[in-house]
Chain A
Amino acid sequence: IQLTQSPSFLSASVGDTVTITCRASQGINNNLAWYQQKPGEAPSLLISAASTLQSGVPSRFSGSGSGTEFSLTISSLQPEDSATYYCQRLNGYPRPFGPGTKVNIK
């Protein structure tokens, strides 16, 4: 199973809504998580099971999808959301990550 993400880079303004797409090479039900990684830091979990928001994560983050196509949406983009976002297939093996989407704040 391979994961692809699009776009690989996006630039948006504070307050914008942005969507990142993750596609799996075969169906993975809802076995997908999303992570945020800021420069020099370890990744942190945002969403599990495709759409379950992790405790403490702002509600402007949301996830959706099932099967082969998934999305991460950030509503009302904030300066602190500048980071690279990764999807990951779980509940099976291997557990690949997508290549990442770098989000830049204009």
Chain B
Amino acid sequence: EVQLVESGGGLVQPGGSLRLSCVASKFSFSSYWMSWVRQAPGKGLEWVINIRQDGRETHCVDSVKGRFTISRDNADNSLYLQMTSLRVEDTALYYCVRDQNWYFDLWGRGTLVTVSS
């Protein structure tokens, strides 16, 4: 089955760090841009960051600049999100998403990040 499976979420204190992972199955992962999208509890969707197929170009929303880093390992069909200096407002369900530039057509089920003391 074509799918994305996220992992790595959990409870972290403000100012802490966390690394999310996403494993892609049954499609040519290295051929696609990939994004992370988050959704705070009971709130709407927010695009966070994306990465080009070769990993050499990334873009992100202003609120995570300098704190979040996206990377990928095409040999392992894996996408990563390194999050540092976490804030309470980063609390959300984080989705790994296949980014076709014109649309997001494949979503994982998400991994929950809770930032709280």
Chain A residues packing against B (C-beta within 8 Å): 31, 33, 35, 37, 42-45, 48-49, 54, 86, 88, 90-91, 93-100
Contacts and interface: CB of A to CB of B under 8 A. Distances in A.
B47 A95 contact: yes
Given A42-B110, A94-B47, A97-B44, A31 B102 contact: yes
A48 B101 CA distance: 10
Nearest to A43: B107
Given A42-B108, A43-B107, A49 B44 contact: no
A33 B102 contact: yes
Nearest to A31: B102
Interface residues of B, number: 20
Contacts of A45: 103-105
Contacts of B103: 33, 45, 48-49, 54, 90
Given A48-B103, A90-B102, 11 more contacts: A35-B45, A42-B108, A45-B104, A49-B102, A54-B105, A90-B103, A90-B104, A95-B35, A95-B47, A95-B50, A100-B45
A93 B46 CA distance: 13
A33 B109 CA distance: 20
B60 to A, nearest CB: 8
Contact of B104 (A33, A91, A96): A33
Contact of B45 (A31, A86, A93): A86
B100 to A, nearest CB: 8
B59 interface: yes
Contacts of A37: 45
Contacts of B95: 42-43
Nearest to B106: A45
B88 interface: no
Interface in B89-105: 95, 100-105
Interface in B69-117: 95, 100-105, 107-110
